[in-house]
Amino acid sequence: MSDKSKIEWTQATWNCVTGCSKVSEGCRNCYALRDWARLSANPNTVYHGRKFTDVQCHPERLDQPLRWTKPRRVFVNSMSDLFHESVPDAFIDQVFAVMALAKQHVFQVLTKRPDRMLDYLSVAESEDSDWLERICDHAVRISGSPCSASFIEDIDWPIHNIWLGVSIEDQPTADERIPLLLQTPAAVRWVSAEPLLGPVDLGRWVYDRDEKIRAAMNSPAAFNREQAEDGIPYPLDWLVVGGESGPNARPMHPDWPRSLRDQCQAAGVPFFFKQWGEWIEIDGPLCRAIITDKLPSDQYIDIDGSLHSFASRNEHKRTAWSTPIMRRVGKKAAGRLLDGRAWDEYPT
């Protein structure tokens, strides 16, 4: 937990839950798991003596953002997942109470479990729910102040300073998680494609919503704006893309982030390129496959992420001229420039 962070798209981390478990291929080289051995060996940390899969809530950390007076973007649980099955709903209530209280900050929630996030927040939005009552009760207890009328008014859902997002790594995880995210009540819906392990077509999830509504209203079967808004799902509000880092990091084909950037630009969706990871392209800007120093010389990774063998030495030589060579240079040297510039766009 820190009021400062080296993560490029945030400014602070708030680890009110620690510990997690793997759910998909993007978790294979998890940075939190990589750091766990060092942290759990330190008797002065909350990690001491615990396994990574030992998920633990930390009520003593709940009020931390309330003591940060300077507004900042806060990544919620960089060492866990708020919607992990081991985190009780009652504790998630308390986390939301703090986020509602600390309205000077923007809270960036990221999960690989959007089904549970949708279930939880659908209940919160329900007219029959006592969720708002519970949030107010927790706010009183955590802040030590009465739950004012203005607080209750400001907590109208969706809470404006809470951004809800999902992590994806390829097309299957995008297809599984993004539709659930877009059904979830939120002020901002965002996606972190990191580590990006394959090409992703965002397709129907990124578009200019106002333009789509205008087109619908101008069609022969025109309907009023209220119907248009109800019938047309909200698009994504933000996309973060990054390659994998760490000792066993896998290379990211350079066309994958380029494609996502171009999709976002076409739709007017803010795009943030976080990093290349450990690998950098050292050959031509346009390509269909990558060769790395970890693959046998007669194999290459195609743009769709599949592994192929060259039929002959001549084919290898011929393909290599039009194929980028990815070299492992380390995260710092690889940097975060995409086609010569930094992409640091945020939702407004």
Average pLDDT, the chain: 83
User: pTM, whole model, 2 decimals?
Assistant: 0.84
As a whole number, mean pLDDT of residues 36-60 equals 93
Asked if residue 40 belongs to a domain, the reply is: yes
Distance from C-alpha of 106 to C-alpha of 108, rounded to nearest angstrom: 7
Burial of 36 (0-12, 13-18, 19+ CB in 10 A): buried
More confident site: 209 or 272: 272
Asked if residue 297 belongs to a domain, the reply is: no
Is the pLDDT assigned to residue 314 strictly greater than 50? no
Asked if residue 341 belongs to a domain, the reply is: no
As a whole number, mean pLDDT of residues 169-178 equals 96
Where residue 94 falls among pLDDT bands split at 50, 70, 90? very high
Is the pLDDT assigned to residue 231 strictly greater than 70? no
As a whole number, mean pLDDT of residues 280-289 equals 56
For residues 152 and 136, the answer to whether their CB atoms sit within 8 Å is yes
Task: Indicate the number of domains in the chain.
Answer: 1
Is the pLDDT assigned to residue 238 strictly greater than 60? yes
For residues 182 and 237, the answer to whether their CB atoms sit within 8 Å is no
Range from 80-89, 225-234, 252-261, 310-319 that averages highest in pLDDT: 80-89
As a whole number, mean pLDDT of residues 10-21 equals 97
Is the pLDDT assigned to residue 106 strictly greater than 80? yes
For residues 51 and 41, the answer to whether their CB atoms sit within 8 Å is no
Is the pLDDT assigned to residue 174 strictly greater than 70? yes
Tokens linked to 29:
């080289």
pLDDT at residue 16, rounded to an integer: 97
Is the pLDDT assigned to residue 35 strictly greater than 50? yes
pLDDT at residue 57, rounded to an integer: 97
pLDDT at residue 143, rounded to an integer: 77
As a whole number, mean pLDDT of residues 162-191 equals 96
Domain span at residue 120? 12-284+329-334
Asked if residue 5 belongs to a domain, the reply is: no
Q: Which residue has the tokens 């949708």?
A: 118
Torsion of the alpha carbons at 210, 273, 108 and 5, rounded to the nearest 10: -150
Asked if residue 296 belongs to a domain, the reply is: no
Where residue 303 falls among pLDDT bands split at 50, 70, 90? low
Where residue 304 falls among pLDDT bands split at 50, 70, 90? low
pLDDT at residue 320, rounded to an integer: 45
Distance from C-alpha of 57 to C-alpha of 28, rounded to nearest angstrom: 23
pLDDT at residue 209, rounded to an integer: 59
Q: Phi-psi region for residue 73, left (φ > 0), alpha (ψ -120 to 50) or beta?
A: beta
Q: Up-side HSE of residue 166: CA atoms within 13 Å toward CB?
A: 26
pLDDT at residue 215, rounded to an integer: 58
Asked if residue 68 belongs to a domain, the reply is: yes
More confident site: 228 or 29: 29
As a whole number, mean pLDDT of residues 90-119 equals 95
Asked if residue 3 belongs to a domain, the reply is: no
Is the pLDDT assigned to residue 24 strictly greater than 60? yes
Which DSSP letter does residue 247 get? T
Q: Phi-psi region for residue 7, left (φ > 0), alpha (ψ -120 to 50) or beta?
A: beta
High-pLDDT (> 70) share of the chain, %: 74
Is the pLDDT assigned to residue 112 strictly greater than 50? yes
Distance from C-alpha of 241 to C-alpha of 261, rounded to nearest angstrom: 9
pLDDT at residue 138, rounded to an integer: 86
pLDDT at residue 83, rounded to an integer: 98
Distance from C-alpha of 166 to C-alpha of 175, rounded to nearest angstrom: 11
Asked if residue 45 belongs to a domain, the reply is: yes
Range from 80-89, 96-105, 122-131 that averages highest in pLDDT: 80-89
Of 88-92, 229-233, 305-309, 326-330, the least confident: 229-233
pLDDT tens readout for residues 132-143: 888 888 888 887
pLDDT tens readout for residues 203-216: 888 866 566 555 55
Where residue 85 falls among pLDDT bands split at 50, 70, 90? very high
